Chains A and B, each alone.
Chain A
């Protein structure tokens, strides 16, 4: 396990180094998510009360679409130069490759959310000081599950040549439970519901995260084999 974690961190660091050089994932996905938030605020905004009801949907739609973009771009880096073959040749557990990509994808998405969530709060009348810590927890839980499913099935795009369209067809149905749970929990949070009421949705998110983490570690080798 220690070897897997060590290799995963080396792979994640490599993705961070590429991102520092190119800024291709975080900048493009942040711009995309920002556009979604601004367009939604222009189209759906009526009153502050109504805005708070719409905000969870806008936030998670922006995260879902930009997340898929980020995951697709993350795997595209392994296709360019056929670097994936060198990675598969390395003497590390194949699950470590999945875990490394997952760590990097989660970090990139959280970076996007640190910009998008305050924008949603600004445009949709959410008091971030009031909901901040709980919202951050929901964002991390929802993002991790989304990234885990996206990273696992995004790997198929490296092997099959199927690109973003195929990724969205496979990933969106799979992440629906996590997205639904995240949206409902966020809606309850913005409506001022007590934390206990959100517990069931948080449990769903935790279960989803654990399921796709274990599935990714276990299935990645089989997905990568001819």
Chain B
């Protein structure tokens, strides 16, 4: 497994988060704290605001009202330590796994050896020079995880990561989430899979109509 890195912040807290898309209220005053070394599964029916919460935590959307605190770090500085794995791979399909990891590694100011280490960690060395558009769903998810974990993020956000994965690939995903928990990362996961949630969750946050209900 990759070398553990000390997290840049030990908690992420949101307070009074409201997110409006036009007249639609996606979040209606969500407050919560996520701690290092803990996997929090966010659950709720479709339209309950789970993805909006993840988007805001990832700094891909701005809250209409409310605050997000990444420990004591300024928002811009915290961005380096946030990673997202979604159902979509967030990769360039035309490039190989090696090129994708090298590109994102360079953007994060990492040495080329960092992406090579991730290829080894995720057992991708043999496939490394094939365009990722030729990969199976499971292989693609491994590259997506390798990309996300390149810079040893303090906050790992998972948006339906197990969708479409077979039993073996799901097993590997559980192992990786466990490794991230051991490393001290803050893991926030949105999933509809009760089985997957049961296996990884230390804590659950249930949303309904944009509000925390339990």
Give the contacting residue for B108; candidates A11, A77, A91; CB below 8 A.
A91
Q: Once the chains bind, are B61 and A85 in contact (CB under 8 Å)? A: no
A17 to B93, CA, bound (A): 12
A83 to B92, CA, bound (A): 6
Q: Mark B30-67, 1 if CB is under 8 A from A, else 0.
A: 00000000000000000000000001001111100000
Question: Which positions in B face A, CB cutoff 8 Å?
Answer: 21, 55, 58-62, 79-80, 82-84, 86, 88-95, 99, 103-104, 106-109, 131-132, 147
Q: Once the chains bind, are A18 and B60 in contact (CB under 8 Å)? A: no
Q: Once the chains bind, are A17 and B60 in contact (CB under 8 Å)? A: no
Residues of A within 8 A of B91 (CB): 81, 83, 86
Q: Once the chains bind, are B88 and A18 in contact (CB under 8 Å)? A: no
Q: Once the chains bind, are A81 and B131 in contact (CB under 8 Å)? A: no
Residues of B within 8 A of A115 (CB): none
Q: Once the chains bind, are A80 and B106 in contact (CB under 8 Å)? A: no
Q: Once the chains bind, are B62 and A226 in contact (CB under 8 Å)? A: yes
Q: Once the chains bind, are A89 and B79 in contact (CB under 8 Å)? A: yes
Residues of A within 8 A of B103 (CB): 10, 14, 17
Give the contacting residue for B92; candidates A14, A89, A225; CB below 8 A.
A14
Given contacts A10-B107, A14-B103, A81-B89, contact A89 B60 (CB under 8 A): yes
A199 at the interface (CB under 8 A from B): no
A14 to B84, CA, bound (A): 21
Residues of A within 8 A of B108 (CB): 90-91
Q: Once the chains bind, are A21 and B55 in contact (CB under 8 Å)? A: no
A7 at the interface (CB under 8 A from B): yes
Q: Which residue of B lies closest to A224 (CB)?
A: B60
Residues of B within 8 A of A22 (CB): 94
A82 to B95, CA, bound (A): 14
Q: Which residue of B lies closest to A22 (CB)?
A: B94
A186 to B90, CA, bound (A): 43
A124 to B32, CA, bound (A): 69
Q: Once the chains bind, are A82 and B61 in contact (CB under 8 Å)? A: no
Given A17-B99, A89-B79, list of 5 further CB < 8 A pairs? A10-B103, A85-B88, A89-B59, A89-B82, A226-B60
Quote the shortest CB–CB distance from B114 to chain A (angstroms): 14
Contacts A/B (CB < 8 Å), 8 sampled: A14-B95, A81-B90, A85-B60, A86-B90, A89-B60, A90-B104, A92-B107, A226-B62
A92 to B99, CA, bound (A): 19
Residues of A within 8 A of B86 (CB): 82, 85
Residues of B within 8 A of A14 (CB): 92, 95, 99, 103
